[in-house]
Amino acid sequence: MWVRRKKGRSPEVLESVFRRVQRLGPYGFWLDSGLSAPDEHRRFWAMGVKPIATLGGSDCAHAMPQFSRCEGFQGQPASSGFDLPSPATLPNGSGNDLSAREWRPQTRLEQLSEFAAKSTSGTDFLPPEVPVPIVVGFLSYEFGSLCDSIPRAVNNPLDAPELFWARYPAVIVGDRITHRVYIFGTQRDSMDALEWAYDSDYHVGAGAFRLADDLSPVQVDTQHQRRVERVLEYIRAGDTYQVNIARRFSAGVKDEKDPVTLFAAIQTLSSAPYAAYMECENATVVSVSPECLVRWYENGVVRCFPIKGTIRRGASDAEDALLKARLLADPKERAEHVMIVDLLRNDLGRVAEYGTVAVPDLCSVHTFAGLHHLISEIRGQLRDGITLGSLLTAVFPGGSVTGAPKVRACEIIAEIECERRGVYCGALGYVDARGGGCLNIPIRTAWLTNQTIHILSGGGIVSDSTPEGENAETWLKIRNWQRVLHSLTHG
């Protein structure tokens, strides 16, 4: 792997840089940690395009895995891209041919481990602390349910793939603390193309993003409140302690849409630490998630940062301080949060060295645009031989977006929500070229198809939740999306 070092440019030009990156081909991605004061969660941004291989599938319950090999960069940097070859199953004799044995979701996680491992060579000289996200992608929420043999909803209105991962020949990474930019790659022509996109002042105009109708809940308020009441019945019966229930908001989108315009607008407002723009086969993911599912390192350290507990921002610094204190002192929010921390301690204990799982930070208030959240850190040391697939089997789907006990909560979610979540509450992020990586939980996330935008919003229900309060929380969490979409549509 090679690296080229560049001087940082003004943050305001990143949208223009990505629009030039998009001109290089399909499957572009932009991971961004926001414009707030840099810290370990808000430090880097990364972009890439035109992968050399993809790993994906439309329905893990029935479809054989698909493994596409993509051409390298050809032609001029400003070319419009190329047509991908048809996906094919993995070749016989590779150790990954699934036609000769029973196919199961865990096998796909094993494939992902192998897919990511192909990028971890020749990396000893890379700058420390700077991520090299050569493999980027997502797992749908339903894929995690399949791993634990949990029933899932049959209705699939989003038509989202169970997973989509891509390995890139080159990526651009920017560091907001050192103001340095790096181009990492295994193909020099790919690096040349990205260097052109970063250095050039060639203008690519921004398109519009307008709704054809208002963003509205598919499950209206009274329906969602009945769902919450049904969960409360399960809790009172002793079936479960906490369940996270979501509902979908949807709207039509006018034909000539520019999803990058939407991503730039929502990220400017949200400044989310785990924001992502990602193109897959038939849709685009636009996410401004504040939550990290899991971060793992080359030395075996693993960390989780669950969010559970929410309150709105104040209109002034004084009101903000009062609301933060109220969130910390709220017994419902704290009990809900500690329950999920205990669940994640147990999850990490399945793959960590005995005695290494710890909680160095419990119930800290973190501030985001529009909301305060309670966040904790759980960490451990992975046992020798733990693969990415093994780690994901232990922690996925995240406890903060399912409930406790996790398996029973997932069963109740499938029964009550009655439709698949898709990428919402799954996992999205990257695998580093050195073997580490980071996955967020894609909440505050839009799934864009040719004509529709879908955004899910939900919350954790415990014994002292109320249907009215949980319904209001779904509106609170989608408020920034409403503001941005209204502004883009009506000016």
Of 159, 194, 157, the residue nearest 174 (C-alpha): 194
Contacts of 323 (CB under 8 A, 6+ apart): 311, 312, 313, 314, 372
Please name the amino acid found at residue 172: I
CA distance 17 to 13: 6
As given in the structure block, the two tokens for residue 349 are 């204990």
Of 164, 227, 242, the residue nearest 401 (C-alpha): 242
Query: Strands, E, within 338-416: which ranges?
Result: 358-368, 371-381, 403-404
Place of tokens 């503001």: 483
* Burial profile 386-400: b = 16 or more Cβ within 10 angstroms, e = fewer: bbbbbbbbbbbbbbb
Q: What angle do CA 425, 68, 108 make, to 5 degrees?
A: 45
As given in the structure block, the two tokens for residue 4 are 């080229």
Q: Are 171 and 132 in contact (CB under 8 A)?
A: yes
CA distance 458 to 471: 8
What sign for the dihedral angle of Cα 280, 282, 288, 290? negative
Q: Name the β-bridge partners of 119.
A: none
In sequence order, what DSSP letters do the residues of 13-41 get, joined into one string? Answer: GHHHHHHHHHTT-SS-EEEE--SSS--TT
Per DSSP, the three-state class of 386 is coil
Please name the amino acid found at residue 131: P
Q: Name the β-bridge partners of 383.
A: none
Query: Could you list the active site residues?
Result: 291, 308
* Burial profile 418-431: b = 16 or more Cβ within 10 angstroms, e = fewer: ebbbbbbbbbbbbb
